[in-house]
Amino acid sequence: MPIKVQKDLPARAILERENIFIMDEDRALSQDIRPLEILILNLMPIKEDTETQLLRALSNTPLQVDCTFLMLETHTSKNTSASHLNKFYVYFRDVKKKKYDGMIITGAPVELMDYEEVNYWEELKTIMEWSKSHVTSTLHICWGAQAGLYYHYGIPKYEREKKLSGIYRHKVLDRKVPLVRSMDDYIMAPHSRYTEVRREDIETHPQLVILAESEEAGVFLVMSRDGKQVFVQGHPEYDRMTLNNEYHRDLKKGLNPDVPCNYYENNDPFGVPVLNWRNAATTLYTNWLNYYVYQVTPYILEEENGNN
pLDDT in tens, 19-51: 554 555 554 444 446 789 999 999 998 899 999
Any catalytic annotation for residue 205?
A: no
Instruction: Round to whole Å and give the CA distance between 216 and 164.
Output: 9
Helix-strand-coil split of the chain, %, nearest 5: 35, 25, 40
pLDDT in tens, 90-117: 999 999 999 999 999 999 999 999 999 9
Which pLDDT band, with edges at 50, 70 and 90, does 194 fall under?
Answer: very high
Phi and psi, residue 158, nearest 5°: -130, 140
Which pLDDT band, with edges at 50, 70 and 90, does 80 fall under?
Answer: confident
Least confident of 13-22, 249-258, 267-276: 13-22
Any catalytic annotation for residue 235?
A: yes
Under DSSP, is residue 118 helix (H, G, I), strand (E, B) or coil?
Answer: coil
Residue among 134, 140, 152, 235 flagged as catalytic: 235
Residue among 37, 48, 111, 142 flagged as catalytic: 142
| Per-residue pLDDT, 129 | 98
| Per-residue pLDDT, 102 | 97
**Would you list the DSSP string of 12-74?**
HHHHHHTT--EE-HHHHHTSSSPPEEEEEE---SSHHHHHHHHHHHHHSSSS-EEEEEEE-SS
Residue 226 · residue 209 · CB < 8 Å: no
Phi and psi, residue 221, nearest 5°: -130, 125
Which pLDDT band, with edges at 50, 70 and 90, does 289 fall under?
Answer: very high
The answer to whether residue 17 scores a pLDDT higher than 80 is no
Instruction: Round to whole Å and give the CA distance between 184 and 287.
Output: 14
| Per-residue pLDDT, 1 | 43
Is the C-alpha dihedral spanning 64, 37, 213, 166 positive or negative? positive
Q: Which is higher by pLDDT, 43 or 307?
A: 43
CA-wise closest residue to 61 among 289, 299, 249: 289
